[in-house]
Amino acid sequence: MRLTISPNPDFALLDMELDLVIALYEERSPEIFLQSGTPRPDRHFLLGMAQTIVVAVEESDKDSVLFLESGAAELQDSGELRTLHSSLLIVRSIEGRFSAIVFGDPRQARRLARRAERWFTGTVRLDIP
């Protein structure tokens, strides 16, 4: 799976093959895209990724978050091309590296990251050890 962003930023993770992309939105549930043949990720793993991204976005970590004023993202997998209309994307390479890509206002990205953390917390049964 490949993610292309125009205009093309210099960000190492975009040159790698991806196995997971999460698109986050204000008014609806996150969309999770998996590379063909990849098993569905564990809910606890997704929650951990969301928690890590919250911290990275809030601290404006330049190594793990790409901040863009504007741009368009397209996801290509198995010949299918999708345009992603999200202000915050969480991406993971097949090597296990993951980052966030923010389009537009960083304050909105912080809200979306916190919303994602609440969303994925809600998918995990916290009352079971």
Rounded to whole angstroms, the Cα distance separating 24 from 80 reads: 20
Which pLDDT value is given to residue 111?
94
Does the pTM of the predicted model rise above 0.85? Answer: yes
Coil, strand or helix: which one is 114? helix
- Contact predicate 51/117, CB 8 Å: yes
In order along its 129 residues, the chain shows pLDDT tens digits of: 999 998 888 888 888 999 999 999 988 899 999 998 888 888 889 999 999 999 999 999 988 999 998 888 999 988 889 999 999 999 999 998 989 999 988 999 999 999 999 888 887 766 655
Which pLDDT value is given to residue 128?
59
Each residue of 72-87: pLDDT tens digit?
899 998 888 999 999 9
Amino acid identity at 124:
V
Assigned token pair, 110: 């912080």
Mean pLDDT of the chain: 89
Among the listed residues 125, 79, 74, 63, the one whose alpha carbon sits nearest the alpha carbon of residue 103:
74
